[in-house]
Amino acid sequence: MNYSLPIPILGFAAYSGTGKTTLLEALLPKLTQAGLRIGMLKHAHHNFDVDKEGKDSYRLRKAGASQMLISSRNRFALMTETPESESEFDYLLSRFDTDKLDVILVEGCKNIAFPKIELHRDEVGKPWLYPNDDNIIAIAADSDVTDTSLPTMSINDLDAIAQFVIDYVKPKAIESRSKAASSCCDILSPAFLSVAQGQEKILSLVDTVSGVDSCSIESGYGRVLAENIVSPVNVPQYTNSAMDGYAIRGDDLGREQYQVVAEVLAGHAYNQPLEKGQAVKIMTGAPTPLHGDTVVMREQATQTGDLVTFNGASVKQGQNVRQAGEDLAIGSDVFAQGQRLSSAEMGMIASLGFGACPVYRKLKVAVFSTGDEVQAPGSEQKANSIYDSNRFTIIGMLEKLGCEILDFGILEDNEALMIKALEDASTQADIVITSGGVSVGDADYIKLALDKLGQIDFWRINMRPGRPLAFGQINNKPFFGLPGNPVAVMVSFINFVEPALRKMQGEQNWQPLKVNAIATDNLRSRQGRTEFSRGVYELDATGQLTVRTTGKQGSGILRSMSEANCLIEISPAVDTVKSGESVTIIPLQGRI
């Protein structure tokens, strides 16, 4: 093999009858679960065909297409006629898109030189390959092999074979990826990450703050509970009527008429046991009398003097009565630690009689803008400058999350001052956020300063907008260096900063709401990156959730965020979403 493949290659060599395909079929799920993206090359019999007779692609090939590429939403296949001779192995390898793979596994091709695992079953009755083939690097067999220094495994131990493949592939894949990254122009060799990888890394590196406040219920909106809330009372406190009507005994149904012995309003009670033949006129919420376990609605009753009849209405024992503790029994769990409080939670905690509750202390967040061209609003515009908007979108989103904001203004373009300001901020705040100056090739001072502060990685996230992102620690406090473009700032904040802040605030396993809607525009994206378009969703006349874009999607056009009520998330696997197709949306209500 002469072609220099940028990813590892590993073959499975065996005589036919050994069960190569069956083994690989069982092995692949274990490898993909370990995160390997797999390409397969299989040598087949000369008259194989993936096409089906009669299909359009088959007909077009037979009509003379020497290459036939057929494509759909889920896959494409390129069929190339090779009537003279089978293609060279190297040429076939060069057909793979190795950017999207971690390894190429080869089934067959016994006679070509590349690393292989020999598969062997005694019952097949064929000779061993390894004594005469230097390309065999390991053996998986159903009998013991003793005359070799090669690693050996049982052919029936799929976990061992999978582990061997993973151990073989992973170091090589990392090596070839870092080679690819370092061959790029960037001196800081930033890592490429998917959105999910970035989120995972960040979440694994931030922790909930320590420190608990007691917070009065009325000022609890948006705070996060630091302890479980257990009900100290029964809700409702006493058994009561769910209706305006008449309480009677459940063992005394079917009488022609009952004697009304009292009238009970909410906040009052009839304190004697109810006798057979008696009824108590009762209002919604008033306690039912002893034995008066059944209530008939007033609408079904006719009272004349102190006698009431129910006009033949069918009555079931226990109807229209709310039992004490029916909503919440004493001692039962109401809210778990990590619950963020909003109106309903405030009401519920109050309904249990608490005047205050334990919450995590407020998170202090330091915010900076950077860039020589960036000017504070509220002053006359200077030549060659733009007004700072990022600090204000960030402050707005921090407000939404109930953070205490330390506004550090615009950082002067001076390395020493920047280092000092960032260090100062990190001693005062729990987390530091800047925007601007982190894109690759950017000569901004902030990047040099951050580099000196250490422990900060410059990432390139496979997303748009918001590809550059710096993340790390300053004085053990998390630091986010967001991009400069105003839309990119918001999209990065929503995807990376907000989940981190929520975890630091004590909220557990928060997940953003995502739903599907039908696109009413064609949405363009690019394979390999996540595209976050700004969208407007609504219910159409038939009740279907639909979404359209806000129009121009430039990452400097902040108006697109203002007009949007959602982000449209197009996954890296998808190229374009056509009008009429389903797409994921992330509603933004309550978040920006």
Q: Which residues bind ligand AMP (CB under 6 A)?
A: 369, 371, 373-374, 386, 388-391, 435-437, 439, 442, 444, 483-486
Q: 253 near 317, Cβ under 8 Å?
A: yes
Distance in Å, CB of 486 to ligand AMP, minimum: 5
Distance in Å, CB of 421 to ligand AMP, minimum: 15
Of residues 190 and 483, the one with the C-beta less far from ligand AMP: 483
From the list ligand AMP, Mg ion, none, partner contacted by residue 240 (C-beta under 5 to 8 A by kind): none
Q: What one-letter code names the amino acid at 85?
A: S
Distance in Å, CB of 23 to Mg ion, minimum: 54
Of residues 39 and 483, the one with the C-beta less far from ligand AMP: 483
From the list Mg ion, ligand AMP, none, partner contacted by residue 483 (C-beta under 5 to 8 A by kind): ligand AMP
Distance in Å, CB of 377 to ligand AMP, minimum: 10
Of residues 29 and 396, the one with the C-beta less far from ligand AMP: 396
Alpha-carbon distance 447 to 481, whole Å? Answer: 9
Distance in Å, CB of 459 to ligand AMP, minimum: 14
Distance in Å, CB of 365 to ligand AMP, minimum: 16
Tokens 């790390």 -> residue: 472
CB atoms within 10 A of CB 408: 20
Helix (H) or strand (E) segment spanning residue 45: none
Distance in Å, CB of 438 to Mg ion, minimum: 9
From the list Mg ion, ligand AMP, none, partner contacted by residue 152 (C-beta under 5 to 8 A by kind): none
Alpha-carbon distance 561 to 579, whole Å? Answer: 22
From the list Mg ion, ligand AMP, none, partner contacted by residue 245 (C-beta under 5 to 8 A by kind): none
Distance in Å, CB of 461 to ligand AMP, minimum: 14
Alpha-carbon distance 360 to 464, whole Å? Answer: 34
Task: Name 49's Cβ contacts closer than 8 Å, sequence gap at least 6.
Answer: none
The closest of 81, 98, 82 to 41, measured between CA atoms, is 98
Distance in Å, CB of 188 to ligand AMP, minimum: 14
Q: Tell me the two tokens of residue 148.
A: 């070799």
Distance in Å, CB of 393 to ligand AMP, minimum: 9
Residue closest to Mg ion (Cβ): 371
From the list Mg ion, ligand AMP, none, partner contacted by residue 426 (C-beta under 5 to 8 A by kind): none
Of residues 402 and 437, the one with the C-beta less far from Mg ion: 437
Of residues 328 and 489, the one with the C-beta less far from ligand AMP: 489
Antiparallel, parallel or unpaired: β 576-577 and 523-524: antiparallel
The three state secondary structure string of 315-380 is: CCCCCCEECCCCCECCCCEEECCCCECCHHHHHHHHHCCCCEEEEECCCEEEEEEECCCEECCCCC
- Please compute Rg for the chain using Cα positions: 35
Of residues 325 and 437, the one with the C-beta less far from Mg ion: 437
Q: What share of the chain is helix, strand, coil (3-state, %, to 5)?
A: 25, 30, 45
Of residues 479 and 537, the one with the C-beta less far from ligand AMP: 479
The closest of 230, 39, 73 to 576, measured between CA atoms, is 73
Three-state DSSP class for 248?
A: strand
Residue closest to ligand AMP (Cβ): 484
Distance in Å, CB of 485 to Mg ion, minimum: 10
Distance in Å, CB of 378 to Mg ion, minimum: 21
The closest of 230, 227, 195, 193 to 208, measured between CA atoms, is 227
Of residues 388 and 531, the one with the C-beta less far from Mg ion: 388
From the list ligand AMP, Mg ion, none, partner contacted by residue 227 (C-beta under 5 to 8 A by kind): none
Of residues 325 and 436, the one with the C-beta less far from Mg ion: 436
Query: What are the φ and ψ backbone dihedral angles of 394, each rounded to 5 degrees?
Result: -65, -45
From the list Mg ion, ligand AMP, none, partner contacted by residue 338 (C-beta under 5 to 8 A by kind): none
From the list Mg ion, ligand AMP, none, partner contacted by residue 374 (C-beta under 5 to 8 A by kind): ligand AMP
Alpha-carbon distance 586 to 564, whole Å? Answer: 11
Task: Name 8's Cβ contacts closer than 8 Å, sequence gap at least 6.
Answer: 102, 103, 104, 168, 169, 172, 173, 176
From the list ligand AMP, Mg ion, none, partner contacted by residue 402 (C-beta under 5 to 8 A by kind): none
From the list ligand AMP, Mg ion, none, partner contacted by residue 386 (C-beta under 5 to 8 A by kind): ligand AMP
> What string of DSSP letters covers 153-217?
EETT-HHHHHHHHHHHHHHHHHHHHHHHHHTSS-TT-PEEE-HHHHHHHHHHH--PPP-EEEEEG
Three-state DSSP class for 85?
A: coil
From the list ligand AMP, Mg ion, none, partner contacted by residue 560 (C-beta under 5 to 8 A by kind): none
Angle of CA points 316, 320, 322, to nearest 5°:
125
Residues that bind Mg ion (CB under 5 A): 371, 436-437, 444, 484
Of residues 133 and 372, the one with the C-beta less far from ligand AMP: 372
Three-state DSSP class for 247?
A: strand
Distance in Å, CB of 444 to ligand AMP, minimum: 6
Of residues 227 and 372, the one with the C-beta less far from ligand AMP: 372
Of residues 112 and 386, the one with the C-beta less far from ligand AMP: 386
From the list Mg ion, ligand AMP, none, partner contacted by residue 244 (C-beta under 5 to 8 A by kind): none
Of residues 200 and 373, the one with the C-beta less far from ligand AMP: 373
Alpha helices in 401-497 (DSSP H): 415-428, 445-453, 486-492
From the list ligand AMP, Mg ion, none, partner contacted by residue 215 (C-beta under 5 to 8 A by kind): none
